[in-house]
Amino acid sequence: MHVHILGICGTFMGSLAVLAKQLGHQVSGSDANVYPPMSTQLQEQGIALMEGFKAEHLQPHPDIVIIGNAMSRGNPAVEYVLDEGLSYTSGPQWLAQYVLHQRWVLGVAGTHGKTTTSAMLAWILEYAGLQPGYLIGGVSKNFPSSATLGGSPFFVVEADEYDSAFFDKRSKFVHYAPRTAILNNLEYDHADIFDNLEAIQTQFHHLVRTIPSTGLILAPNGETALETVLARGCWTPVQRFSIGREEAACRQEAKDSVVLWNATLSNPQGSDFELVKYAAGEGQFRASVTWQLTGMHNVKNALAAVAAAHHVGVEVATAAAALQEFLGVKRRLELRGEVDGIRVYDDFAHHPTAIELTLQGVAARLQAEGSTGRLIAVIEPRSNTMNLGIHQHTLTTAIAPASLVVWQKPAKTGLDFERLITESKVPGHVFNSAAEIIAFLKDTAHHGDTIVIMSNGGFEGIHEKLLSALRRIN
């Protein structure tokens, strides 16, 4: 079967392409913007990539067209599909029908941390010898690609709340029917398709309705937005996870059939911690983790991943050992290079909370290292929610852990950058292009500084361009 994918270089659609190829299909795809790491991964898989959305890309006619949710009416390729009466479907529907059917699906949902947690969970199952299939919305450094069919009934999927397609406005995750579900967190996001938090909570409740009573839901302890979702109706056992709670409190809460997972940090940066499962008032499983990642958000992600893996039979000690070999995900605080003691990181940031948690983790690590250099955040507020100005006030709080903030101003934006600068306690600068930012940092950055570049897009290839500029002056 010939499968053609419209929007193939998106992280989700690119992963579908890999799965379709592994199923033995002929796979091709079109996209407007082609950039690594997804484009590189697809080319390595032997998948034909075409620039733009032209009718001739669909000639001869493929057997089915998978239409990404970034496609809309008026797109030339979409119009051709409809005019010619070609068979088409959404990405989530295709995944559910051709890959997930009759498998034990472990779904990872939440506003933040889905990619990292999915990668952790898939790696734990792989380390334990379970040969899982997986679809991760990024490129994990522990795996050769972002997706594989695997060799067992288990399949880990990043369960996104964004809509499925222009013809299917349900959230992607409603299609997946997970048996094990992580609800990592829930905040207002995707302002382009959701009017408010309540609209997203409704979609999360639809997800909860699809989880069987013999399954398991894992949710953070005391997160109000998710508690509201579960209060609307839940037919599945729920286990909770938390960080830093006193053991006596954990034992007390773990009575009356409540199961609680807790992590105790050995240091502020979260590079060492102990995790414990409490049930029937007792700490039943304990394990210590020393790993490469930092930040309390990643410790929480790890707790959820360990608990989900335990649900399918992985011993906690085995899961902890796997975490110690977890290398992270590309574009999640990925070190891109170091020049004259200036470190440049790439981070996939799409929401103020994600920005704040990442910067907090980096700041804690720098303090532990005794660094005297500055933490410089370079932010492209590219996501629809941030660019619309929805989080104007929370952005000033999110950047607080940084020493200096450099903003790239989008051509069209609802953000008031003058207010961002004046209301923030962190010194800030605004530029219109990556080239201007590079010129500024070339003159400003000095030995010992850490630069974290935050964007959910390609950011004009700023990472390598900056490193090249820094090399030229040293």
Q: Are residues 263 and 167 in the same domain?
A: yes
Residue 396 lies in a domain: yes
415 and 301 part of one domain: no
Last residue of some domain: 90, 121, 151?
Answer: 90
- In this structure, what CATH number is given to the domain that contains residue 16? 3.40.50.720
Is the same domain home to 179 and 208? yes
Query: Under a CB-based contact definition with an 8 Å cutoff, are residues 378 and 453 in contact?
Result: yes
Reduce the DSSP state of residue 455 to 3 states and report it: coil
Q: Quick one: 223 and 367 in the same domain? A: no
Q: How many domains does the chain have?
A: 3
The token duo for 178 is: 């997970």
Domain finish residue from 272, 292, 323: 323
Among the listed residues 425, 441, 427, the one whose alpha carbon sits nearest the alpha carbon of residue 473: 441
Both 246 and 207 in a single domain?
A: yes
236 contacts 217 by C-beta, under 8 angstroms: yes
435 neighbors 408 (Cβ within 8 angstroms): no
Q: From CA 129, how far away is CA 143, in angstroms rounded?
A: 14
Spatial neighbors of 181 by CB under 8 A, at least 6 apart, are 106, 107, 109, 159, 207, 208, 211, 215, 216, 217, 218, 236
**CATH at residue 193:** 3.40.1190.10
Say which CATH number the domain at 446 has. 3.90.190.20
Q: Is residue 96 part of a domain?
A: no
Q: Name the domain boundary from 40, 69, 90.
A: 90
User: Within this chain, do residues 358 and 235 fall inside the same structural domain, yes or no?
Assistant: no
Residue 13 lies in a domain: yes
For the chain, 474 residues long, give each residue's pLDDT as a single digit of tens.
999 999 998 888 988 999 999 999 999 999 987 766 667 778 888 898 898 999 999 999 999 999 999 999 999 999 999 999 999 999 999 999 999 999 999 999 998 889 999 999 999 999 999 999 999 987 788 998 889 999 999 999 999 999 999 999 999 999 999 999 999 999 888 777 888 999 999 999 999 999 999 999 999 998 899 999 999 999 999 999 999 888 888 888 887 778 999 999 888 888 899 999 998 877 788 899 999 888 888 999 999 999 999 999 999 999 999 999 999 887 778 889 999 899 999 988 777 888 888 898 889 888 888 888 999 999 888 776 677 667 777 888 888 999 999 999 888 888 888 888 888 889 999 999 999 999 999 999 999 999 999 888 778 889 999 999 888 765
Letter for the amino acid at 70? A
- Same domain, yes or no, for 232 and 374? no
Residues 251 and 398 in one domain: no
Using a 10 angstrom Cβ sphere, with 0-12 exposed, 13-18 middle and 19 or more buried, the burial of residue 109 is buried
Contact 450, 343 (CB under 8 A): yes
Q: Looking at the domain assignment, is residue 207 inside a domain?
A: yes
Length of the chain: 474
Predicted pLDDT at 368: 83
One domain, residues 170 and 32 = no
Residue 230 belongs to what H/E stretch?
helix 224-231
Shared domain check, 354 and 286: no
Same domain flag for 342 and 295: no
Are 247 and 255 within 8 A, CB to CB? no
Residue 328 forms part of a structural domain = no
Assigned domain for 71 exists: yes
Domain assignment present for 55: yes
Instruction: Note the pLDDT of residue 133.
Output: 98
Q: What residues make up the domain containing 83?
A: 2-90
Q: Residue 289's beta-bridge partner residues?
A: 273
Whether 131 and 246 map to the same domain: the answer is yes
Concatenated DSSP letters of 339-385: ETTEEEEEE---SHHHHHHHHHHHHHHHHHHT--S-EEEEE---SHH
